[in-house]
C-alpha cells in the first residue's frame, strides 16, 4: 500500500513539475505548447493578452504573425486585420509593418474588398524603403499590375507597372514571367507589334524552355488568327454538337490557334500546342459511349467551362472544355481533366472548410 501511495506521489510530482515548467515558459512558447496540445482557442486568448501589453517590437511581431495565421485559419479575417493594424499603429515604420500592410491587402482581397486592397498596395509601392528585407516590392508590383490589368482593365497603367517589374526582376525566370505578362498586356492594349517584339525576345533568350514554347505559341496566335464565335453560348452549343456527333473535324475547326492550356484538377496547368489536345480527343472521344454534355456553362476564375460526363479516359471520366473571350471572339482555349473521385475529394475539402 505504501509503494502504491509513493508511486501516486511521484506521478503527481512529475505532472506538477510539467505545469510549473509550462507556466514558466515565455508566453509565445506557452502558446506553441497549447497549439501542440490542440488548444487553439486558449493559444489565441493567451497571445491576444500578450500583444496588448508587450513592448518589445520583435517579440510582438512574432506573436502577431502567429495570431494572424490562427485567426485566418478560423475564418476570422476581420479579427486578423485588427491584430495586424494594432502592431502597425505602435511600430509604423519597421520592415514588419510594411509586411503586415501587405498581409492586410491580401486579407481585403479575400473579403472581396478589391478597391481597399488596391489602395493599400499603391501606398505600399510609394513608401517601401530601399532596404526591403522581406522582398516585398516585386510581389506588391505584381499584385498591382494584376489589379490594373484584370480588375480595372486599365492596360496603359498596367504596362507601366509591368515595365517596372521587368526592370526589377533579378531572377531569370521571374523576369521571363514578367516579360510574358508585359506582352499580354500590350495585346490587350491593342499594341500588337510591341507584344510580338516582347515574345520574340523571350523566345530568343530562353531556348528550349517553357517560356520559349509559350512565347512562340502567342506569336502564332497573333499572326495566324482564327475567328472565334460571337458569344460563349454559341461556342458551347457548337462544341456540344461536335462532341455528341463524335465529330473531330468540327472540334478542329473550333479549337483556338496558338497556346492551349490543359491540366488536371488540383494541379498546375501547362501550355501546349492545340494539336496535343486534338490528339487526346481523337484517342478517347470514340471510346466515350455514355457521353453526357451539359451546355449550362459554369464560371471558373475568368473563364467558363463546359462539363462533359461519361468521358472515355479510364483515369478521367469527367472533362471540362475551357472557354474564354479572346482577341478574335469567344474561343475554346483549354481542357481540364477530372473524375468522380477527384470531385468527391474537392467536395469533402469544401465541406471541411465550412465545418471549420
Tens digit of each residue's pLDDT (9 = 90 or more) over 24-50: 468 899 999 999 999 999 999 999 999
| 104: phi then psi, degrees, rounded to nearest 5 | -60, -40
Average pLDDT over residues 127-149: 93
Distance set, CA 79 to CA 50, 60, 83, 107 (Å):
16, 16, 6, 11
pLDDT at 349: 55
Q: Which of 1-15, 236-250, 253-267 has the lowest mean pLDDT?
A: 1-15
The overall longest dimension of the chain from CA atoms, in Å, is 94
CB atoms inside a 10 Å sphere around CB 341: 12
Which pTM does this prediction carry? 0.79
User: Which cell numbers in the block locate residue 161?
Assistant: 507597372
According to the model, what pLDDT value does residue 41 have? 95
Buried b (16+ CB within 10 A) or exposed e, 208-224: eeebbbbbbbbbbbbee
Place of cell 464560371: 299
**Cα–Cα distance, 109 to 103 (Å, whole number):** 10
Q: What is the mean pLDDT of the chain?
A: 90
Bridge partners of 318, per DSSP, are: 309, 338
For residue 350, pLDDT beyond 70: no
Give percent of the chain above pLDDT 90. Answer: 83
Rounded alpha-carbon distances, angstroms, from residue 24 to 17, 18, 19, 140, 264: 10, 10, 8, 41, 51
Q: How many helices (H) and strands (E) does the chain have?
A: 16, 6
Higher-confidence position of 286 and 11:
286
Please, which residues bridge with residue 270 across strands? 262
Q: What is the pLDDT of residues 44-75, one digit of tens each?
A: 999 999 999 999 999 999 999 999 999 999 99
Per-residue confidence band for 345, with pLDDT thresholds at 50, 70 and 90: confident
Beta bridge partners of 309: 292, 318
d(CA 285, CA 278): 10
Looking at residue 255, what DSSP letter applies? B
Buried b (16+ CB within 10 A) or exposed e, 259-298: bbbbeeeeeeeebebbeebbeebeeebeebeebebeeebe
Computed over its alpha carbons, how large is the radius of gyration of the chain?
A: 27
Provide the pLDDT confidence category of residue 266 given band limits of 50, 70 and 90: confident
Amino acid at each position: 500500500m505504501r509503494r502504491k501511495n509513493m508511486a501516486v506521489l511521484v506521478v503527481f510530482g512529475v505532472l506538477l513539475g510539467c505545469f510549473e515548467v509550462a507556466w514558466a515558459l515565455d508566453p509565445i512558447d506557452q502558446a506553441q505548447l497549447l497549439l501542440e496540445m490542440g488548444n487553439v482557442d486558449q493559444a489565441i486568448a493567451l497571445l491576444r493578452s500578450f500583444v496588448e501589453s508587450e513592448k518589445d517590437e520583435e517579440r510582438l511581431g512574432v506573436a502577431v504573425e502567429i495570431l494572424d495565421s490562427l485567426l485566418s485559419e478560423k475564418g476570422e479575417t476581420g479579427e486578423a486585420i485588427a491584430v495586424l493594424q494594432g502592431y502597425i499603429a505602435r511600430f509604423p515604420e519597421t520592415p514588419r509593418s510594411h509586411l503586415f500592410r501587405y498581409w492586410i491587402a491580401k486579407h481585403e482581397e479575400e473579403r472581396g474588398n478589391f478597391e481597399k486592397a488596391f489602395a493599400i498596395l499603391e501606398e505600399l509601392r510609394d513608401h517601401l524603403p530601399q532596404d526591403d528585407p522581406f522582398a516585398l516590392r516585386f510581389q506588391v508590383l505584381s499584385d498591382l499590375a494584376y489589379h490594373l490589368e484584370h480588375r480595372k482593365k486599365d492596360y496603359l497603367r498596367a504596362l507601366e507597372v509591368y515595365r517596372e517589374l521587368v526592370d526589377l526582376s533579378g531572377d531569370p525566370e521571374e523576369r521571363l514571367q514578367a516579360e510574358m505578362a508585359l506582352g499580354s498586356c500590350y495585346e490587350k492594349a491593342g499594341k500588337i507589334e510591341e507584344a510580338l517584339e516582347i515574345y520574340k525576345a523571350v523566345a530568343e533568350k530562353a531556348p528550349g524552355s517553357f517560356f520559349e514554347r509559350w512565347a512562340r505559341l502567342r506569336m502564332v496566335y497573333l499572326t495566324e488568327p482564327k475567328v472565334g464565335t460571337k458569344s460563349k453560348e454559341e461556342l458551347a452549343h457548337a462544341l456540344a454538337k461536335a462532341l455528341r456527333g463524335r465529330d473531330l473535324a468540327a472540334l478542329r475547326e473550333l479549337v483556338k490557334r496558338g497556346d492551349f492550356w490543359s491540366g488536371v484538377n488540383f494541379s498546375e496547368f501547362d501550355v501546349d500546342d492545340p494539336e496535343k489536345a486534338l490528339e487526346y480527343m481523337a484517342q478517347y472521344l470514340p471510346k466515350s459511349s455514355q457521353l453526357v454534355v451539359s451546355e449550362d456553362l459554369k464560371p471558373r476564375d475568368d473563364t467558363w467551362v463546359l462539363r462533359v460526363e461519361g468521358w472515355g479516359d479510364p483515369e478521367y471520366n469527367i472533362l471540362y472544355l475551357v472557354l474564354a473571350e479572346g482577341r478574335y471572339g469567344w474561343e475554346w482555349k483549354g481542357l481540364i481533366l477530372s473524375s468522380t473521385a477527384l470531385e468527391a475529394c474537392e467536395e469533402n475539402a469544401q465541406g471541411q472548410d465550412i465545418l471549420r
